[in-house]
Structure 1
Amino acid sequence: MRAHLMQLDMRWQDKAWNRQSARRMVEASSPAAGDLVVLPEMFDTGFSWDSAVTADDSGETLGFLRSLADQWGVCVVAGRTVRGPDGHCRNVATAVGPGDSAPGESAGPILAQYAKRHLFPLGEESRHLRAGDQAVTFRWPCDQQGMIFSLAICYDLRFPEVFRAGLAAGAEAFIVPSCWLAGRHAHWRPLLIARAIENQAYVLGVNRAGSDPNARYLGGTLGVCPRGEVLGELGEFEGILSVDVDPSEVRRWRGVFPAWKDVPGG
């Protein structure tokens, strides 16, 4: 399958504009049925903690993701803010499939929803949002031939344990929607490559471009194969990176060099 990674330049807290921009980019990528489309962290608002604005309480952003998945027959992974039953908001990555892609589901099933486990303390994210506490995996395509994906978000990338938990759950690829700040951009690329090498898995890091009232972002969206080799990379500005991901390549490499078996508890 092809993974289409959308490096958006989001407009601050403007959901309608950002959704339209995302749709335009997906259309430009012309995904085939069965492909994967990934949007950045909090793609519909930018990295804002104003939950009165950012929370997808109306479900409009979720509905938008479902419409993309249905229109193209793809899995869409995107970051948004979700208010839980406890009334607290979480920074989540949601994976949505097209209608009838999962047993018993008729339209736009949520294949997985992951809440960011490590909230960014320097940006005071932890003061405004609640952290998640578990790894999440899903299979795409949903049949037994599909690849097992796990989700992480931005600051989670600094914590190998998040990815080990995904590996223990069977992950063959990791998707990392992000709003990675320019001030520590030098860390972004090597961390993505390290997570791929450590877990012998694909890693798809999707950063945003542009700036918001608080920060600047340098893009650098990256696809890494299970051997740690870079499949493709974007520069600073808005753009689309499309790379091939193949579960048989993960299984082949893990068979040739089975370092994953030596992971404690593995």
Structure 2
Amino acid sequence: MTKVRVACIQTDICLCHKEKNVKNAIYMVRQAISEGAEVIVLPEVFSTGFCYDHISGSSESPEGPTLKILSDLTKESNCVIISSIIEKEQSMEEEKYFNLGFCLDTGVVTGTYRKTHLFMREKQYFTPGSMIVPISLQSKDLVIGLQICYELRFPEVARKLSLMGADILVTVAEFPKPRKELWQTLVRARAIENQIPHIACNRTGSDPDSSFFGSSMIVDASGEVKKEAGEEESILIYDIDTAQTSDVRETITVLKDLRTDIY
């Protein structure tokens, strides 16, 4: 597969109001599907925001209702949806919570990723994940490299995903004001240094602690910004040509020239 139509959906998120957020996301996902989108990305913890005060009630397992609703939609529409939710893992001894990235592919959870680098207040509530592995789609000849928000600051994450065969880098985020220029720079840098298309999906709106600038982006393998949102809710649609990645990597052989013997 060389060309795939992707959609980056920038939503506002009403803190702790899962039903409202999921309903809004589904409405916008259906709009993207009507425009032919095959791979659709939503912001980080799109269904609840960082609902720390009611984390037990807002969290769920990958088999819970939120992923079931979205999974049914991917089956009905033959598409892929990528985002993250607050995951609860229950054992006899304790409850653990994770920022769980997920990839739903035509009715199936094809892969999950527990955020490995936790940012500030997240450390009080979440357990970090312990594995960085790309996700292979079952309906398309594509491999997704999924990272979550703060991990944009760690070039090692994107580099590992790229070296492990990711075709498209995806970042789901709640990147707040005033760090818009930082976001734009990091999003492009991760694409440029790995010569990989990058879908970076941020939220907009505000919660009691932060406000968000949006600026979701789709960047090609050369680092050129192909689509960028403003601060409003939006849907970015773009046809990514994965064949361009090979051309870019053959022109400037960054990955071949890595000196793994000295770093």
Check whether TM > 0.5. Answer: yes
2:79 aligned partner: 74
1:130 aligned partner: 127
- Of 10, 17, 30, the residue aligned with 2:33 is 30
Specify the SS of the correspondent of 1:258. Answer: coil
Letter matched to residue 78 of structure 1: S
1:95 aligned partner: 103
1:194 aligned partner: 189
Letter matched to residue 111 of structure 1: T
2:217 aligned partner: 222
Letter matched to residue 51 of structure 2: S
Letter matched to residue 114 of structure 1: Y
Alpha-carbon RMSD across the aligned residues, in angstroms, is 1.8
Distance 2:256 2:130 in 1: 25
Percent identity, aligned pairs only? Answer: 30
2:57 aligned partner: 53
How is 1:177-192 mapped onto 2 (pairs within 5 angstroms)? Answer: 177-192=172-187
1:155 paired with 2:167, answer: no
So what's the TM-score if we normalise by structure 2? Answer: 0.91
Letter matched to residue 56 of structure 2: A
For structure 1, the residue ranges without an aligned partner over 5 or more in a row are 99-107
**Alpha-carbon deviation of 1:246?**
2.0
1:237 aligned partner: 232
Contact 1:40 1:178 in 2 (8 A): yes
Change (3 A) 1:257 1:141: farther
Distance 2:86 2:253 in 1: 38
Distance 1:264 1:56 in 2: 43
Residues paired across the two proteins, number: 253
1:160-210 superposed Cα distances (whole Å, 9 cap, x missing partner)? 011111012111211101011112222101100000001000111000010
For structure 2, the residue ranges without an aligned partner over 5 or more in a row are none
**Alpha-carbon deviation of 1:211?**
0.5
Specify the SS of the correspondent of 1:4. Answer: strand
Distance 2:174 2:37 in 1: 26
Contact 2:5 2:36 in 1 (8 A): no
Contact 2:14 2:21 in 1 (8 A): yes
So what's the TM-score if we normalise by structure 1? Answer: 0.90
